[in-house]
Structure 1
């Protein structure tokens, strides 16, 4: 892939599992998954990429940096593509506008942190998790699922992906912080108890999450290996959700 083309793809590699797992869970937990889900997935991923570039454009422009220009065209083109994919769905299902309105405050939080150059802040990461996990409700509803049947898998996704935010910090940026490590382990212990209450099957992937939060920080693992572990746990979560619910 050419370098300029690569720049159109957001370099937030850890975000892709968070974008995909709740969406796929909602799609395949629904009684009628279909072609509309493909269109929704395209709109979702394109919108994420467009917002990423728009936030980077705002951040760099606010600092008077010429490098902001490289994000302008991707933001516009990807935003237009997201609209082209999403507008037919909105015409058929106007309630999707409610999902967009619900996500807007969290996008606003992320934009504010981007403007301040603090995208790696804990609160910013947690704010990004909420609309991503909310896509389980959107995808499930599009496929005719009963909303009452979706809240438990959606909450399980929220518990899991919220935990990845402090955990990844203990592996990279906050790897020398005992306080972060203790906080991460405490969160994962509480998340294990909460997930097991949602479904006993969820105790399996969440116990693995607790084990990695306790055992892996401080071992000097390289970021690609950290990412591979998270990818495996995300896949295990998705499989468990589909089996349990």
Structure 2
């Protein structure tokens, strides 16, 4: 074979390797871009408001690894029930075990240094349990399941503010409520854009929710009225316009970053 054939063969092998690596990453990292914003924004809001400390770094890594462990465990539960062959659920065992081990290795020393982290973690257990029940029923896209996932993620400012400042739990209540009102709204709004597009019931519920959220955050801080007014406008005007999923995701990333900036700046 000539040099040209060798070059083509080399490129083909390289492409195969890259595809294999992509599939490997896909088996470990879920394709849920909105979840990453929901995990990061409340955590960072509390860390920045309470004052960043080195302890926030292992806590953040443990938090993300814990999410991955729970995700893969739920997929194992779901696929074990709906698939007849063990191959599909089995591929989630190794990521679940490795991520859980990593989260424990980072989280346990933190729990020794800050014992109040253990009861804080225990408060998330009922919501995670709800997510497991919906995974077992193969109804992960249900509205209540999405709302149950939002609550522990948006409660993280209570933890990260206290970890930074050493103050009371109430110090993180404002940013936690702001994040909860936003991310709970995204559960409704994204459904009107993708899985429930065209549903007038979901559209009306989404707009009504965002109106109520705007009134609530205005009482919490008038400065929050501006971003939540934008969230209301996007909930009212964007459904039905045929936007691609990537565009919907990009809008939500921009909204999440904007929320983080306002919460850190005014609360």
TM-score computed with the length of structure 2 as normaliser: 0.89
Q: 2:146 aligns with which of 119, 125, 132?
A: 125
Residue ranges of structure 2 left out of the alignment (5+ in a row): 1-17
Looking at structure 2, the residues matched to 5 and 154 of structure 1 have their Cα atoms a distance apart, in angstroms, of: 31
Contact 1:46/1:79 (8 A) holds in 2: yes
Question: What corresponds to 1:224 in structure 2?
Answer: 246
Question: What corresponds to 1:51 in structure 2?
Answer: 70
Q: Cα offset for 1:146? A: 3.5
Q: Cα offset for 1:128? A: 0.3
Q: Cα offset for 1:94? A: 1.1
Contact 1:29/1:145 (8 A) holds in 2: no
- Root-mean-square deviation (CA, aligned residues, Å) is 1.0
How many matched pairs? 244
Bigger CA radius of gyration: 2
Q: Cα offset for 1:186? A: 0.4
Looking at structure 2, the residues matched to 231 and 145 of structure 1 have their Cα atoms a distance apart, in angstroms, of: 30
Contact 2:130/2:145 (8 A) holds in 1: yes
Q: 2:36 aligns with which of 2, 7, 16?
A: 16
Looking at structure 1, the residues matched to 89 and 265 of structure 2 have their Cα atoms a distance apart, in angstroms, of: 45
Looking at structure 1, the residues matched to 167 and 134 of structure 2 have their Cα atoms a distance apart, in angstroms, of: 35
Instruction: Map Cα deviations across residues 11-55 of structure 1 (whole Å, 9 max, x no partner).
Output: 221101100000000001004x21100000000000000100000
Give the ranges of 4+ consecutive aligned residues of structure 1 lying more than 3 Å apart after TM superposition. none
Does residue 105 in structure 1 map to residue 105 in structure 2? no
Q: How does 1:3-82 map to 2 (within 5 A)?
A: 3-31=23-51, 33-63=52-82, 64-66=84-86, 67-82=88-103
Instruction: Map Cα deviations across residues 59-101 of structure 1 (whole Å, 9 max, x no partner).
Output: 1112334200110110001110111111110111111111111
Question: What corresponds to 2:233 in structure 1?
Answer: 211
Contact 1:49/1:75 (8 A) holds in 2: yes
Looking at structure 1, the residues matched to 108 and 240 of structure 2 have their Cα atoms a distance apart, in angstroms, of: 47
Contact 2:159/2:172 (8 A) holds in 1: no
Looking at structure 1, the residues matched to 121 and 172 of structure 2 have their Cα atoms a distance apart, in angstroms, of: 18
Looking at structure 2, the residues matched to 108 and 161 of structure 1 have their Cα atoms a distance apart, in angstroms, of: 20
